[in-house]
Amino acid sequence: MSNLLEDKVALVTGAGNGIGRAIVVAMARAGAKVVINDIGVSLSGEGGSASPAEETKAEIEAFGGEAAISTDSVGEWESARKIVQTATDSFGRLDIVVNNAGILRDAMFHKMSIEQWQSVVNVHLNGAFYVSRAAAGLFRAQESGSYIHMVSTSGLIGNLGQSNYSAAKMGVVGLSKSIALDMRRYNVRSNCIAPFAWGRMTSNIPAETPDQKARVENLKKMTPEKNAPIAVFLGSDDARDISGQIFSVRKNEIFLMGQSRPLRSVHTAGNWTPETVRDHAIPALRPSFYPLDRSQDVFTGTPADFHHQARAPARPAKEHMPCAAPPSSALFALRSAPSAVSCARSRSRFSGAPSPGPCSNAPASTRY
Protein backbone atom coordinates (compact mmCIF):
# COMPACT_ATOMS: atom_id res chain seq x y z
CA MET A 1 0.00 0.00 0.00
CA SER A 2 1.17 3.50 -0.87
CA ASN A 3 1.28 6.31 1.70
CA LEU A 4 0.89 9.14 -0.82
CA LEU A 5 -2.25 10.39 0.95
CA GLU A 6 -1.28 9.61 4.52
CA ASP A 7 -3.00 11.90 7.07
CA LYS A 8 -5.38 13.26 4.41
CA VAL A 9 -9.16 13.03 4.29
CA ALA A 10 -10.85 12.51 0.93
CA LEU A 11 -14.50 12.87 -0.01
CA VAL A 12 -15.70 11.10 -3.17
CA THR A 13 -19.25 11.53 -4.45
CA GLY A 14 -20.91 8.70 -6.34
CA ALA A 15 -18.43 6.33 -4.69
CA GLY A 16 -20.62 3.26 -4.44
CA ASN A 17 -19.97 1.98 -7.96
CA GLY A 18 -17.70 2.28 -10.97
CA ILE A 19 -15.08 5.01 -11.20
CA GLY A 20 -16.07 6.61 -7.90
CA ARG A 21 -15.65 3.33 -6.06
CA ALA A 22 -12.31 2.67 -7.75
CA ILE A 23 -11.05 6.13 -6.74
CA VAL A 24 -12.21 6.03 -3.12
CA VAL A 25 -10.72 2.55 -2.63
CA ALA A 26 -7.42 3.65 -4.20
CA MET A 27 -7.31 6.75 -2.01
CA ALA A 28 -7.92 4.63 1.06
CA ARG A 29 -5.12 2.28 -0.01
CA ALA A 30 -2.89 5.35 -0.37
CA GLY A 31 -3.45 6.18 3.28
CA ALA A 32 -6.39 8.60 3.21
CA LYS A 33 -9.38 8.44 5.48
CA VAL A 34 -12.34 8.56 3.12
CA VAL A 35 -15.97 9.60 2.95
CA ILE A 36 -18.04 7.43 0.62
CA ASN A 37 -20.94 9.48 -0.68
CA ASP A 38 -23.56 7.52 -2.58
CA ILE A 39 -27.35 7.49 -2.50
CA GLY A 40 -27.62 4.18 -4.34
CA VAL A 41 -29.86 5.29 -7.21
CA SER A 42 -30.14 3.79 -10.66
CA LEU A 43 -28.26 5.17 -13.66
CA SER A 44 -31.23 7.44 -14.39
CA GLY A 45 -31.33 8.68 -10.79
CA GLU A 46 -34.27 6.60 -9.57
CA GLY A 47 -34.63 4.58 -6.36
CA GLY A 48 -32.12 4.72 -3.54
CA SER A 49 -30.15 2.36 -1.33
CA ALA A 50 -27.24 2.50 1.13
CA SER A 51 -26.00 -0.90 -0.03
CA PRO A 52 -23.41 0.31 -2.60
CA ALA A 53 -21.77 2.62 -0.04
CA GLU A 54 -21.85 -0.07 2.65
CA GLU A 55 -20.22 -2.60 0.30
CA THR A 56 -17.47 -0.11 -0.57
CA LYS A 57 -16.91 0.65 3.12
CA ALA A 58 -16.60 -3.05 3.90
CA GLU A 59 -14.01 -3.46 1.14
CA ILE A 60 -11.93 -0.59 2.53
CA GLU A 61 -12.15 -1.75 6.14
CA ALA A 62 -11.12 -5.26 5.05
CA PHE A 63 -7.61 -4.00 4.24
CA GLY A 64 -7.43 -1.77 7.32
CA GLY A 65 -8.66 1.48 5.83
CA GLU A 66 -10.94 4.00 7.53
CA ALA A 67 -14.17 5.10 5.88
CA ALA A 68 -17.40 6.91 6.66
CA ILE A 69 -20.63 6.90 4.69
CA SER A 70 -22.80 9.78 3.51
CA THR A 71 -26.09 9.08 1.78
CA ASP A 72 -27.03 12.73 1.21
CA SER A 73 -27.68 14.00 -2.31
CA VAL A 74 -25.29 16.34 -4.10
CA GLY A 75 -28.26 17.94 -5.83
CA GLU A 76 -29.29 20.24 -2.98
CA TRP A 77 -27.23 22.85 -1.16
CA GLU A 78 -28.16 21.83 2.38
CA SER A 79 -27.51 18.16 1.75
CA ALA A 80 -24.18 18.99 0.10
CA ARG A 81 -23.19 20.80 3.29
CA LYS A 82 -24.08 17.66 5.23
CA ILE A 83 -21.81 15.60 2.96
CA VAL A 84 -18.86 17.85 3.81
CA GLN A 85 -19.86 17.86 7.47
CA THR A 86 -19.63 14.07 7.45
CA ALA A 87 -15.92 14.43 6.74
CA THR A 88 -15.28 16.92 9.52
CA ASP A 89 -17.48 15.07 12.02
CA SER A 90 -15.83 11.74 11.23
CA PHE A 91 -12.20 12.72 10.71
CA GLY A 92 -11.81 16.35 11.79
CA ARG A 93 -10.76 17.80 8.45
CA LEU A 94 -11.07 17.57 4.66
CA ASP A 95 -8.28 17.73 2.07
CA ILE A 96 -9.64 16.28 -1.18
CA VAL A 97 -13.01 16.56 -2.92
CA VAL A 98 -13.73 14.33 -5.91
CA ASN A 99 -16.91 15.36 -7.75
CA ASN A 100 -17.89 12.14 -9.47
CA ALA A 101 -21.64 11.69 -8.83
CA GLY A 102 -23.74 11.61 -11.97
CA ILE A 103 -26.79 10.28 -13.79
CA LEU A 104 -27.80 9.94 -17.43
CA ARG A 105 -31.03 10.86 -19.18
CA ASP A 106 -30.02 10.58 -22.84
CA ALA A 107 -32.26 11.84 -25.65
CA MET A 108 -31.83 13.62 -28.97
CA PHE A 109 -31.98 17.37 -28.40
CA HIS A 110 -35.27 17.87 -30.24
CA LYS A 111 -36.87 15.18 -28.07
CA MET A 112 -35.34 16.07 -24.71
CA SER A 113 -37.81 16.96 -21.97
CA ILE A 114 -37.31 19.78 -19.50
CA GLU A 115 -37.13 17.21 -16.70
CA GLN A 116 -34.38 15.28 -18.49
CA TRP A 117 -32.39 18.48 -18.90
CA GLN A 118 -32.85 19.78 -15.36
CA SER A 119 -32.19 16.48 -13.57
CA VAL A 120 -28.85 15.86 -15.31
CA VAL A 121 -27.63 19.46 -15.04
CA ASN A 122 -28.63 19.54 -11.36
CA VAL A 123 -26.63 16.45 -10.39
CA HIS A 124 -23.53 17.06 -12.51
CA LEU A 125 -23.14 20.84 -12.55
CA ASN A 126 -25.10 22.07 -9.55
CA GLY A 127 -23.90 19.09 -7.52
CA ALA A 128 -20.26 19.84 -8.31
CA PHE A 129 -20.80 23.47 -7.32
CA TYR A 130 -22.69 22.68 -4.10
CA VAL A 131 -20.13 20.19 -2.77
CA SER A 132 -17.15 22.30 -3.87
CA ARG A 133 -18.63 25.45 -2.37
CA ALA A 134 -19.43 23.63 0.88
CA ALA A 135 -15.76 22.63 1.18
CA ALA A 136 -14.35 25.99 0.10
CA GLY A 137 -14.41 27.56 3.56
CA LEU A 138 -12.43 24.66 5.02
CA PHE A 139 -9.88 24.75 2.21
CA ARG A 140 -9.49 28.50 2.53
CA ALA A 141 -9.00 28.37 6.30
CA GLN A 142 -6.36 25.64 6.14
CA GLU A 143 -4.79 27.16 3.00
CA SER A 144 -4.70 23.86 1.14
CA GLY A 145 -7.02 21.52 -0.71
CA SER A 146 -7.52 19.65 -3.95
CA TYR A 147 -10.66 19.52 -6.10
CA ILE A 148 -10.88 16.76 -8.71
CA HIS A 149 -13.84 16.93 -11.08
CA MET A 150 -14.86 14.09 -13.37
CA VAL A 151 -15.84 15.50 -16.77
CA SER A 152 -16.34 13.87 -20.17
CA THR A 153 -15.17 13.90 -23.77
CA SER A 154 -18.89 14.02 -24.61
CA GLY A 155 -18.60 17.68 -23.66
CA LEU A 156 -14.96 18.36 -24.52
CA ILE A 157 -15.38 16.91 -28.02
CA GLY A 158 -19.02 15.98 -28.58
CA ASN A 159 -21.53 13.14 -28.69
CA LEU A 160 -24.99 12.39 -29.98
CA GLY A 161 -28.06 12.42 -27.74
CA GLN A 162 -26.34 13.91 -24.69
CA SER A 163 -26.91 17.66 -24.83
CA ASN A 164 -27.83 17.76 -21.13
CA TYR A 165 -24.83 15.69 -20.06
CA SER A 166 -22.39 17.44 -22.42
CA ALA A 167 -23.51 20.92 -21.34
CA ALA A 168 -23.31 20.00 -17.66
CA LYS A 169 -19.81 18.54 -18.01
CA MET A 170 -18.55 21.58 -19.92
CA GLY A 171 -20.04 23.69 -17.14
CA VAL A 172 -17.94 21.69 -14.67
CA VAL A 173 -14.85 22.42 -16.79
CA GLY A 174 -15.55 26.15 -16.46
CA LEU A 175 -16.28 25.75 -12.76
CA SER A 176 -12.96 23.98 -12.19
CA LYS A 177 -10.99 26.70 -13.96
CA SER A 178 -12.77 29.41 -11.97
CA ILE A 179 -12.03 27.60 -8.71
CA ALA A 180 -8.38 27.25 -9.74
CA LEU A 181 -8.15 31.00 -10.38
CA ASP A 182 -10.18 32.20 -7.40
CA MET A 183 -8.55 29.95 -4.80
CA ARG A 184 -4.97 29.90 -6.02
CA ARG A 185 -4.07 32.49 -3.36
CA TYR A 186 -5.07 29.92 -0.71
CA ASN A 187 -2.95 27.12 -2.26
CA VAL A 188 -6.13 25.35 -3.38
CA ARG A 189 -6.02 23.61 -6.73
CA SER A 190 -8.68 22.29 -9.07
CA ASN A 191 -8.33 19.87 -11.99
CA CYS A 192 -10.53 17.74 -14.24
CA ILE A 193 -10.36 14.13 -15.41
CA ALA A 194 -12.28 12.90 -18.45
CA PRO A 195 -12.34 9.12 -17.93
CA PHE A 196 -12.85 6.25 -20.31
CA ALA A 197 -14.22 3.21 -18.50
CA TRP A 198 -16.76 0.46 -18.90
CA GLY A 199 -19.50 0.70 -16.31
CA ARG A 200 -23.05 1.87 -15.70
CA MET A 201 -22.46 5.19 -17.46
CA THR A 202 -21.28 3.49 -20.67
CA SER A 203 -23.23 0.23 -20.62
CA ASN A 204 -26.03 1.76 -22.71
CA ILE A 205 -23.77 2.46 -25.71
CA PRO A 206 -25.27 0.82 -28.83
CA ALA A 207 -23.58 -2.39 -29.98
CA GLU A 208 -25.44 -3.29 -33.15
CA THR A 209 -23.02 -2.70 -36.05
CA PRO A 210 -19.58 -4.35 -36.29
CA ASP A 211 -17.90 -1.01 -35.56
CA GLN A 212 -20.10 -0.43 -32.53
CA LYS A 213 -19.44 -3.93 -31.23
CA ALA A 214 -15.68 -3.44 -31.63
CA ARG A 215 -15.86 -0.13 -29.76
CA VAL A 216 -17.79 -1.70 -26.88
CA GLU A 217 -15.29 -4.57 -26.64
CA ASN A 218 -12.47 -2.02 -26.41
CA LEU A 219 -14.37 -0.12 -23.72
CA LYS A 220 -14.80 -3.28 -21.66
CA LYS A 221 -11.01 -3.47 -21.37
CA MET A 222 -10.95 0.00 -19.82
CA THR A 223 -11.80 -0.81 -16.23
CA PRO A 224 -12.73 1.93 -13.72
CA GLU A 225 -9.53 1.22 -11.78
CA LYS A 226 -7.44 2.64 -14.65
CA ASN A 227 -8.63 6.13 -13.69
CA ALA A 228 -7.70 5.91 -10.02
CA PRO A 229 -3.90 6.49 -10.09
CA ILE A 230 -4.08 9.98 -11.56
CA ALA A 231 -6.86 10.92 -9.12
CA VAL A 232 -4.73 9.76 -6.18
CA PHE A 233 -1.76 11.71 -7.51
CA LEU A 234 -3.78 14.91 -8.06
CA GLY A 235 -4.99 14.67 -4.48
CA SER A 236 -1.47 14.37 -3.11
CA ASP A 237 1.02 17.07 -2.10
CA ASP A 238 3.19 15.96 -5.02
CA ALA A 239 0.65 17.67 -7.29
CA ARG A 240 0.72 20.96 -5.36
CA ASP A 241 1.79 22.90 -8.46
CA ILE A 242 -0.82 21.44 -10.84
CA SER A 243 -4.08 23.33 -11.20
CA GLY A 244 -6.53 24.33 -13.91
CA GLN A 245 -5.73 21.31 -16.09
CA ILE A 246 -7.91 18.77 -17.88
CA PHE A 247 -6.65 15.20 -18.13
CA SER A 248 -8.14 12.17 -19.83
CA VAL A 249 -7.43 8.51 -19.15
CA ARG A 250 -7.97 5.70 -21.64
CA LYS A 251 -6.72 2.36 -20.32
CA ASN A 252 -2.93 2.87 -20.00
CA GLU A 253 -2.91 6.25 -21.74
CA ILE A 254 -3.02 9.63 -20.01
CA PHE A 255 -3.86 12.65 -22.16
CA LEU A 256 -3.56 16.34 -21.40
CA MET A 257 -6.58 17.90 -23.09
CA GLY A 258 -6.49 21.24 -24.86
CA GLN A 259 -8.19 24.39 -23.63
CA SER A 260 -9.82 27.02 -25.78
CA ARG A 261 -7.44 29.68 -27.13
CA PRO A 262 -7.56 31.90 -30.24
CA LEU A 263 -6.64 30.03 -33.42
CA ARG A 264 -6.79 32.63 -36.18
CA SER A 265 -7.69 36.29 -36.47
CA VAL A 266 -8.79 38.64 -39.20
CA HIS A 267 -9.29 42.38 -38.92
CA THR A 268 -10.30 45.34 -41.06
CA ALA A 269 -9.27 48.99 -41.17
CA GLY A 270 -12.89 50.04 -40.98
CA ASN A 271 -16.03 48.43 -39.62
CA TRP A 272 -17.21 44.95 -40.50
CA THR A 273 -20.46 44.52 -42.42
CA PRO A 274 -22.37 41.27 -42.85
CA GLU A 275 -21.17 41.20 -46.46
CA THR A 276 -17.47 41.67 -45.63
CA VAL A 277 -17.76 39.04 -42.90
CA ARG A 278 -19.18 36.71 -45.55
CA ASP A 279 -16.71 37.61 -48.28
CA HIS A 280 -13.49 38.05 -46.30
CA ALA A 281 -13.61 36.97 -42.62
CA ILE A 282 -15.24 33.58 -43.04
CA PRO A 283 -13.08 32.44 -46.00
CA ALA A 284 -9.97 33.38 -44.00
CA LEU A 285 -11.14 31.56 -40.87
CA ARG A 286 -12.79 28.54 -42.49
CA PRO A 287 -9.60 26.45 -42.82
CA SER A 288 -9.42 26.36 -39.02
CA PHE A 289 -13.06 25.40 -38.43
CA TYR A 290 -13.55 22.30 -36.31
CA PRO A 291 -15.54 19.41 -37.79
CA LEU A 292 -18.60 18.01 -36.05
CA ASP A 293 -16.58 15.25 -34.42
CA ARG A 294 -17.87 12.92 -31.76
CA SER A 295 -15.60 11.57 -29.05
CA GLN A 296 -15.17 8.25 -30.87
CA ASP A 297 -14.15 10.09 -34.07
CA VAL A 298 -11.18 11.61 -32.26
CA PHE A 299 -10.27 8.75 -29.91
CA THR A 300 -10.10 6.07 -32.59
CA GLY A 301 -8.22 2.81 -32.63
CA THR A 302 -7.22 0.58 -29.74
CA PRO A 303 -5.85 2.02 -26.49
CA ALA A 304 -2.12 1.63 -26.02
CA ASP A 305 -0.88 -1.04 -23.64
CA PHE A 306 2.56 0.56 -23.37
CA HIS A 307 3.64 2.17 -20.13
CA HIS A 308 5.46 5.45 -19.41
CA GLN A 309 5.29 6.72 -22.99
CA ALA A 310 3.05 9.16 -24.78
CA ARG A 311 0.70 8.18 -27.56
CA ALA A 312 -0.66 10.87 -29.81
CA PRO A 313 -4.42 10.46 -30.34
CA ALA A 314 -5.18 8.97 -33.71
CA ARG A 315 -7.03 11.55 -35.79
CA PRO A 316 -7.87 11.68 -39.48
CA ALA A 317 -5.52 13.88 -41.49
CA LYS A 318 -7.51 17.01 -42.32
CA GLU A 319 -6.26 20.22 -43.86
CA HIS A 320 -8.22 22.32 -41.37
CA MET A 321 -6.42 20.97 -38.29
CA PRO A 322 -5.30 24.02 -36.27
CA CYS A 323 -1.73 24.86 -35.28
CA ALA A 324 0.20 21.66 -35.84
CA ALA A 325 0.00 18.90 -38.41
CA PRO A 326 -2.32 16.02 -37.43
CA PRO A 327 -0.44 13.97 -34.83
CA SER A 328 0.90 10.58 -35.75
CA SER A 329 -0.30 7.49 -33.92
CA ALA A 330 3.30 6.37 -33.42
CA LEU A 331 4.68 6.07 -29.92
CA PHE A 332 7.36 8.45 -28.78
CA ALA A 333 8.81 9.65 -25.51
CA LEU A 334 8.07 13.35 -25.79
CA ARG A 335 5.51 15.15 -27.90
CA SER A 336 6.33 18.54 -29.37
CA ALA A 337 3.02 20.06 -28.37
CA PRO A 338 2.22 23.21 -26.37
CA SER A 339 2.99 22.85 -22.67
CA ALA A 340 0.36 22.71 -19.94
CA VAL A 341 -1.90 25.73 -19.95
CA SER A 342 -1.41 27.98 -16.97
CA CYS A 343 -4.25 29.46 -14.92
CA ALA A 344 -4.42 32.43 -17.29
CA ARG A 345 -7.34 34.81 -17.26
CA SER A 346 -9.13 35.72 -20.48
CA ARG A 347 -7.67 39.22 -20.55
CA SER A 348 -4.18 37.75 -20.12
CA ARG A 349 -4.62 36.10 -23.50
CA PHE A 350 -6.35 39.02 -25.21
CA SER A 351 -3.87 41.69 -24.10
CA GLY A 352 -1.76 44.16 -26.00
CA ALA A 353 -1.62 44.40 -29.77
CA PRO A 354 -3.33 41.71 -31.86
CA SER A 355 -1.03 38.85 -32.77
CA PRO A 356 -1.23 35.63 -34.78
CA GLY A 357 -1.56 33.62 -31.57
CA PRO A 358 0.59 30.94 -29.96
CA CYS A 359 0.91 28.65 -33.00
CA SER A 360 4.25 28.89 -34.75
CA ASN A 361 2.73 28.24 -38.19
CA ALA A 362 -0.26 30.55 -37.72
CA PRO A 363 -0.52 33.06 -40.56
CA ALA A 364 -0.16 36.73 -39.79
CA SER A 365 -3.43 38.49 -39.11
CA THR A 366 -5.10 39.29 -42.40
CA ARG A 367 -6.08 42.91 -42.96
CA TYR A 368 -8.87 44.05 -45.25
Q: How far apart are CA 4 and CA 229, in angstroms?
A: 11
186 included as an active-site residue: no
User: Can you point out the beta strands (E) in 95-197?
Assistant: 96-99, 145-150, 188-196
The predicted-structure confidence for 256-269, as pLDDT tens digits, reads as follows 999 999 999 999 99
Say what percent of the chain tops pLDDT 90.
68
The predicted-structure confidence for 267-307, as pLDDT tens digits, reads as follows 999 999 999 999 999 999 999 999 999 998 998 867 765 44
pLDDT at 344: 62
pLDDT at 348: 57
Per CATH, the homologous superfamily of domain 9-256 is NAD(P)-binding Rossmann-like Domain (3.40.50.720)
Q: Which is the catalytic residue, given 130, 147, 165, 186?
A: 165
pLDDT band at 108 (very low <50, low <70, confident <90, very high): very high
- Residue ranges of domains in the chain: 9-256
Of 244, 39, 191, residue with least CA distance to 127: 39
pLDDT band at 365 (very low <50, low <70, confident <90, very high): low
| Per-residue CA distances from 190 to 144, 270, 310, 319 (Å) | 11, 42, 24, 35
Q: How far apart are CA 159 and CA 137, in angstroms?
A: 36
